[in-house]
Amino acid sequence: MAKDLLLEIGLEEVPARFVRGAMNQLKEKTVKWLDSARIGHGAVEAYATPRRIAVLVRDVEEKQADVNEEVKGPSRKIAQGGQGEWSKAALGFARSQGVDPADFFFKELGGVEYVYANKSSIGTVTSDVLPEGLTALITAMSFPKNMRWGAYDLRFVRPIRWLVALFGEDVVPLDITAVQSGKTTRGHRFLGSETVVSEPSAYVERLREQQVIVDAAEREALIVEQIKSLAAEKGWHIDIKEDLLEEVVFLVEYPNVLFGTFDPAFLNIPQEVLITSMREHQRYFPVLDQEGKLLPFFVTVRNGDRTSIESVAKGNEKVLRARLSDAKFFYAEDQKLAINDALKKLETIVYHEELGTVADKVRRIVNTAGKLASALQLDVQTSDDVARTAAICKFDLVTQMVYEFPELQGIMGEDYARKAGERETVARAINEHYQPRFAGDRAPASVVGAVVSLADKIDTIVGCFSIGIIPTGSQDPYALRRQAAGIVQIVLAHGLKLPLETLFDLALDVHAEGTMKRDRAEVRKDLYEFFALRVKNVLGEQNVRYDVVDAVMAVGYNDLSQTVDRAAAVTARAAGDRRDEFKGVVDALNRVCNLASKATRTEVNTNLFAEDVEGALYSAWQAVHADIAAFVAEGRAAEAIEKLASLKTPINNYFDKVMVMAEDAAVRANRLATLAAIAGSVLKVADLTKLVW
């Protein structure tokens, strides 16, 4: 017969950002322990609020499964001595498995005899193993930040205040930091009280009676439903950001949505400032009209019922008024700071001890951006705008508003630059140069913003690589992967004729003037390899098959636009209606490429052609090879593939009548040279030998 198992860890309020991770960890550890302990069970449900994490396991077996398995030991050569006696290795194996050496037997595996034993174990009653198992499970939990309390050695996210551990109707005895388990849990801090959980299946409803919605998914659904209902009633658009919603879900146990107002005079401040202040300081949801313009209202979630909800709204309005007054003051004070004075302050801010100050970084950005403008052949006005944007792109870092809300960098720079009389193109590009800020964000819309963004990002990457800071595994403290992904996104979004190697060299030239600590060639090689995965990710996001990605990138990815075009063209032919036809083309071309690898030269002497088909193939290639190169360069890889496909018949005829590896060395070398020339055209598109059919 099976019983339900409930484990609840009652805590002091846990930071919202830690709760879901703790909930998931408890569930994973519980499942892992039950499985390793050979205890059968049904569905596992995890619950959490700011004051508790819990797991409810359905249909837990009352007894561990019996074990009867065959275990392998050391080889016979190691297990037995010359007289047939058991060695120390064999006796140690017997002890570790709890078997008698007299019960050993031998089996052959891979031509070698090994010692085997039948290991049997009668399962223990589940209630006997639960106390030790659950105690170990709880004390083994880890968190981003831990604390200790009292004289206890246990490190946990917050002090444990109560424990509920039930197997069916029976309490599982636990004692952790002098807290004994029982059936008593605690309801809402203000609206509920202690209550007894008679059995695990009653847990959710028993807490609901005490004004606690213990299911996080249910709380989230309630919050979203109430917000949407309020929006429909008022004709508002309430912006529900996932990260804010996630935090609010784990700030409350019994959610109720309410709204308040603020003085419309604050709307003279940029709405990004007001929204950020509401979200970051108060965890409020901003209210917008249907055009996306901020309205003088906010929405928040109360951890409680709707008693005196109007008074709660008034209290929130009072707090928000103080926050927005601070923002208004910062905004007014910042505008008194001249841009040139702000730039001077950057001289005192250390960017990196080996890379200088933020002012040093700005000077490198200006230098790199100027080189990019020349490489891209931008017109005079655009080049001037690039230069000005690069020079002042970081000035807002010393403003009070950005100090208070770092996420507003660029946004405030745009606003302050516009008010200071900078050109609109420059002001907008100051904000854009931070884009894309995160995965899924858009690239800068303007060319000016794109160029300065490229200069900023490549300076960061090359600077870090030049002093030996290279992401490894999960370690990427300077977000270099995100910066590289942003570069790839920008180049593709604007269709820039900017090879990666050119971009690297421009930045390396700038860093060579003072910050380079490693060999330039090594840094360049590391950069090219580092960007490979970013390009693969882009192709993967476009649903390009892994083998097509490998085939395309095997012949280079220096030109990002060409790489994407080549991948799309190969994908279209390899997966479309003409797949079988294309496979025949690939088979013919691969025969050429495989033999071409033996060639020592590519110069072809037509006087050495002994068969008509040799001349026919060479002439066919001569007719298309220039077009193939041109089409690839122009981003018309699909047409290049059509040209390659036209070589299928001449190639097949060639191999039907010609022995490439002729006895005559000169003829053999000439035939391999012919194939090498053709292979060179193939490899302008992809290494088709990597395609999987």
Mean pLDDT of 657-685: 93
Tell me how many domains the chain contains: 5
Residue type, 109: L
Are residue 87 and residue 151 in the same domain, yes or no?
A: no
Q: What is the pLDDT of residue 393?
A: 97
What proportion of the chain, given as a percentage, has pLDDT over 90? 83
Q: How far apart are the first and last CA of the chain?
A: 52
Q: How confident is the model at residue 226 (pLDDT cuts 50, 70, 90)?
A: very high
Residues 97 and 153: their CA atoms lie apart, in Å, by: 34
* Domain-located, residue 547: no
Closest-CA residue to 137 (of 34, 17, 59, 46)? 34
Find, among 216, 243, 200, the residue nearest to 17 by Cα: 243
Q: How many CA atoms lie within 13 A of 543 on its CB side?
A: 2
Judgement on whether residues 677 and 590 belong to the same structural domain of the protein: yes
170-178: average pLDDT: 96
Which residues make beta-bridge pairs with 71? Answer: 117
167 and 239, same domain (yes or no): no
**Distance (Å, whole) CA 516 – CA 511:** 6
Q: Partners of 257 in the beta sheet?
A: 301
Tens digits of residue pLDDT in 200-218: 999 999 999 999 999 999 9
Tokens (6 digits) for 297? 């209202």
C-alpha closest to that of 63 among 136, 127, 121, 5: 127
Indicate the Cα dihedral angle 398, 404, 408, 413, nearest 10°.
-30
Pair (108, 234) in one structural domain = no
Q: How far apart are CA 667 and CA 654, in angstroms?
A: 14
The answer to whether 676 and 599 are in contact (CB under 8 A) is yes
Q: Which two tokens stand for residue 179?
A: 């807290």
pLDDT at 579: 83
Q: Kindly report the length of the chain.
A: 693
Q: Which residues contact 450 (CB under 8 A, 6 or more apart)?
A: 432, 443, 444, 490, 493, 494, 496
Looking at the fold, whether 656 and 633 belong to one and the same domain comes out as yes
Q: What is the pLDDT of residues 566-617, one digit of tens each?
A: 999 999 988 877 788 899 999 999 999 999 999 988 899 999 998 899 999 9
pTM (two decimals): 0.79
pLDDT band at 19 (very low <50, low <70, confident <90, very high): very high
- Contacts of 382-387 with C-beta under 8 Å, sequence gap 24+, read 382/447, 382/448, 385/423, 385/425, 385/426, 385/429, 385/448, 386/429, 386/448, 386/451, 386/452
489 pLDDT tier (thresholds 50, 70, 90): very high
Q: Which of 475, 508, 541 is the last residue of a domain?
A: 541
Tokens found for residue 156: 């946990």
Tell me the average pLDDT across 615-629. 94
**According to the model, what pLDDT value does residue 516 have?**
80
- Say whether both 33 and 146 belong to one domain: yes
Is 553 inside a domain boundary? Answer: no
* CB distance 22 to 46 below 8 Å: no
Q: What is the pLDDT of residues 146-166, one digit of tens each?
A: 999 999 999 999 999 999 999
| Domain-embedded: residue 550 | no
Closest listed residue to residue 509, CA positions, set 646, 625, 371:
371
Q: Which pLDDT value is given to residue 459? A: 96
Angle in degrees, CA 92, 94, 100, rounded to 5: 140
Amino acid letter, residue 609: F
Is residue 398, in this structure, part of any structural domain at all? yes
What value does the mean pLDDT of the chain take? 94
Please give the pLDDT value at position 337: 95
Helices 637-645 and 579-596 meet at what angle, rounded to 10? Answer: 80
User: Where a domain ends, among 507, 541, 575?
Assistant: 541
Phi, psi of 332, rounded to the nearest 5 degrees = -70, -40
Regarding whether 92 and 56 lie in a shared domain, the answer is no
The answer to whether residues 198 and 223 belong to one domain is no
Angle between helices 447-466 and 358-375 (to 10 degrees): 120
pLDDT value at position 48?
98
* 322 within a domain of the structure (yes/no): yes
Asked whether the beta carbons of 289 and 282 are under 8 A apart, the reply is no
Question: In angstroms, rounded to a whole number, what is the distance separating the alpha carbons of residues 552 and 568?
Answer: 10
At 515 the pLDDT is 72
- pLDDT, residue 580, reads 86
Domain CATH for 592: 1.10.730
Q: Is residue 409 part of a domain?
A: yes
> Given this model, what pLDDT does residue 461 score?
96
SS3 assignment, position 576? coil
Asked if omega into 436 is within 30° of 0 (cis), the reply is yes
Q: Tell me which H or E stretch contains 589.
A: helix 579-596
DSSP three-state, residue 110: coil
Residue 411, pLDDT score: 96
319, 381: one domain: no
String of b and e for 233-248 (b: at least 16 CB within 10 Å)?
eeebbbbbeeebbbbb
Q: How confident is the model at residue 668 (pLDDT cuts 50, 70, 90)?
A: very high
The answer to whether residues 184 and 270 belong to one domain is no
Both 611 and 577 in one domain: the answer is yes
Q: What pLDDT is recorded for position 433?
A: 97
CATH code, domain carrying 372: 1.10.3210
**Is residue 69 pLDDT above 80, yes or no?**
no
Query: For the residues 83-112, what does the mean pLDDT come to?
Result: 87
Half-sphere exposure of 102 (CA within 13 A, CB side): 0
Which of the listed residues 87, 103, 121 is the one where a domain comes to its end? 121
Among 655, 657, 656, residue whose Cα is nearest residue 678 = 655
- Whole domain around residue 100: which residue ranges? 67-121
226 within a domain of the structure (yes/no): yes
Name the more confident of 574 and 59.
59
Q: Is residue 136 located within the same domain as residue 92?
A: no
Distance CA 373, CA 147 (A): 53
DSSP 351: E
